[in-house]
Amino acid sequence: MSAIEIADLHYAYPPLWAGSASIEVLRGVSLSIERGEFLALMGPTGVGKSTLLMALNGIVPQSTGGIIRGRVTVLGADTRRTPVAELARRVGIVYQDAESQLFSTTVEDEVAFGPENLGVAPPEIAERVAWALDVVDMRAHGGRAPAQLSGGQKQRVAIAATLAMLPEVLILDEPTAALDPLGQREVLAVVERLCRERRATIIMASHHAEQVAEFADRVAVMVEGRIVRVDEPLRVFEDADLLADAGLAAPQVTEVAQGLNRRLGTRYSFATLDAAAEALGEGLAGSGWRASGPTGSRSPAPGCSGAPPPSPSMRSEGALTPSPRLRGEGRGEGSSPHTPEEGRGEGPPPSPRVRREGWGEGSSTARARGEAPPSIRIEGLTYQYDEISPALNGIDLTIADNAYLAIIGQNGSGKTTLVKHLNGLLRPTGGRVWVEGIDTRTASVGQLARRVGYVFQNPDHQIFGATVREEIGFGPRNLGLSAAAIRERTDEALAAFDLAAYAEAPPAVLGYGLRRKVSLAAVFAMRPHILILDEPTAGLDARSTADLMARVDAMHHAGHTIILVTHDMRLAAAHCHEVLVMHEGRALAYGPTQEVFCRLEDLEHAQLAPPQAARLARRLTPQGMPCTVLTAAEFVAAYAALGVASHRGSP
């Protein structure tokens, strides 16, 4: 039985600004989703995915207005005529922008709000709140105000608030965009369990191909307001023409399969890590490869930090405390064993592997060891938002001029707090920060903004202009540039980020992905020497991400210092020369990208995982694969070097 039926759906928003025309976003969408199905919705930024999702709970058109044709039926209810409040009892939604969903004074109150309005008994409400907060690893923060949380923690709370309602239909709009890798997989594992055990219907908009391949039953691909393909994940991700048209990327393991097929004439076909490891392990066995060494066994490959783990650096699904409603048992005892400790004062001593120097030759740091001073120097930096525990605890760090640095870490580890000290938005509680020789304790934000460009994690914290053009021109205007130069930079940024059609639009009426582009364009127009990007690709499709990173790479080649805060390990591995791992307000590891991603103990301690290609290589390390692989291309080259050309893979 279908849970959702969409038939020939057309929708146009009302004119969004003076002088504009109605914008038709959905152009004949038809789709059927079965009860208990997990369907992923993929497509370019701004293609109408969020609009389609809001049509499933009646917000479109009941709250938005506009012109609508066609039919949407969810659990037998016509969403055009059934009140949103009535639909909300059975249809839950997690918005792309978590802050638009949070309003309560504490995290626990936020999660309890939905069940309270469903008339759930108080004991069961408490049970659901505890379960949902355990699922997203936020039990320890139950008494805090959502406004005090990091962006990723807010996203976790929004997810928990919806899960606690145990909806029959769960709508997820980029639900994991702000989550660390571990949190992404854990949340989706629970969502999948809701789907399997309660026959909940899941529809999730996502740009994360690897998550979609692992968890979704089918993928619906949208292009220009239409559904152009509905199929199994593997078939979608193997269709290179479709991915190119839709601006999507395949999972890294699928890129590995296609690379090996081209290079070796194999017929590999897989889209998940487990399937890839099984097929390629058989490939190595079929090639006749044997480990070398005096005893017939081998040590870990050079550069590996200890023996490879038997599975990727993720918590097992069994570590999650299942909902009593899912497993049919009594309430689980205690909180999640992985909940971070709070209020414990001083943390553990810094890891002895924290690097201050020793960069590989040819890196930007090595080049800067001569006469050029460091771009940024941090000594003993401590910062506290409250009296409970420090957000930063004794950070010592030197970032060279023209560095290309990724800062990674789980949600709440201190990444954003750290970079906000580099442009004066935060001032040290203790310690000192120098930016190009300027002590940030005495410099104004305006002074630092001429040197340091900062793209906020949430674009709505940055945008205030009446129009997109005004927003982008604000920075160059405050640099004192001439009118002609301001116009030139503004037009260049509008073109670079495909925003020319929205130049006179108020940014507030645009979708999240477009607002993200506006925030990026506004900072790029200032051409700062130091560019800080806080989760810049969240909400962007693969094509937009590639275009953005090409511009960031060009700035680095031109001599700029780049600092990228990201949860996208694939992005960090492909672009950044150095990596800083943050954990509980401390610098856990710092060094060249390949070296840091090979230090499995540090990554696991920080509850992170290297890119998928690297995790695949580690699965095959006992069979000869080097664990220094980070990208699909590196994996293909290393695998081919093991002499498996005679193996023909799976049909």
Q: Taking 70 as the threshold, does the pLDDT of residue 347 lie above it?
A: no
Q: Does residue 584 carry a pLDDT above 90?
A: yes
478 close to 443: Cβ distance less than 8 angstroms:
no
Of the chain, the percentage scoring pLDDT greater than 70 comes to: 85
| Nearest-angstrom CA–CA distance, 37 and 202 | 6
Residues β-bridged to residue 4: 33, 74
Residues of the chain with pLDDT > 90, as a percent, come to 72
Distance, first Cα to last Cα, the chain:
34
* Total Cβ atoms within 10 A of residue 121: 9
Q: Can you tell me whether residue 58 is helix, strand or coil?
A: coil
- Rounded distance, CA 96 to CA 453, Å? 25
Q: Are 432 and 379 in contact (CB under 8 A)?
A: yes
SS3 262: helix
Other CB atoms within a 10 A radius of the CB of residue 292 amount to 9
Q: How far apart are CA 389 and CA 275, in angstroms?
A: 43
Average pLDDT, whole number, for the chain? 86
Query: What is the pTM for the complete model shown?
Result: 0.83
pLDDT tens for each residue of 585-625: 999 999 999 999 999 888 989 989 999 999 999 999 998 89
DSSP string, 117-164: HTT--HHHHHHHHHHHHHHTT-GGGTTS-GGGS-HHHHHHHHHHHHHT
Residue whose C-alpha is closest to residue 525's, from 558, 477, 482: 477
Measured between alpha carbons, how far is 35 from 18 in angstroms, rounded to an integer?
43
| Displacement of CA 298 from its chain's centroid (Å) | 37
Band of pLDDT at residue 284, cut at 50, 70 and 90: confident
d(CA 123, CA 306): 47
Q: What is the pLDDT of residue 186?
A: 87
pLDDT in tens, 292-331: 333 333 344 444 544 433 333 333 333 333 333 333 333 2
The length of the chain, given as a count of residues:
651
Give the domain 2-248 fold. Rossmann fold (3.40.50)
Give the pairing type, strands 586-592 and 392-399: unpaired
Give domain limits for the chain: 2-248, 258-313+614-641
Beta strands in 346-442 (DSSP E): 376-383, 392-399, 404-408, 430-435, 438-439
Instruction: Report residue 18's pLDDT band, with 50, 70 and 90 as the boundaries.
Output: confident
In tens, the pLDDT along 565-581 reads: 999 999 999 999 999 99
- Going by pLDDT thresholds of 50, 70 and 90, the confidence category of residue 363 is very low
User: What's the one-letter identity of residue 230?
Assistant: V
With contact defined as beta carbons under 8 Å apart, do 378 and 426 qualify?
Answer: no
More confident residue, 316 or 481: 481
What's the CA gap between 586 and 340, in Å, rounded?
14
Measured between alpha carbons, how far is residue 320 from residues 51, 214, 273, 604 in Å? 33, 18, 21, 17
Burial letters for 157-184: b for 16+ Cβ neighbours within 10 Å, e otherwise?
bbbbbbbbbbbbbbbbbbbbbbbbbbbb
Nearest to 564 by CA among 587, 591, 530, 598: 530
Q: What is the pLDDT of residue 372?
A: 58
In the numeric block, the tokens 């700035």 are attached to 555
Distance CA 19, CA 8 (A): 29
Amino acid of residue 231 = D
Phi, psi dihedral angles at 400 (to 5 degrees)? -70, 155
Torsion over CA of 430, 435, 436 and 439, rounded to 10 degrees? Answer: -40
The C-alpha atoms of residue 231 and residue 461 are separated, in whole angstroms, by: 38
- Which residue would you say has higher pLDDT here, 332 or 138? 138
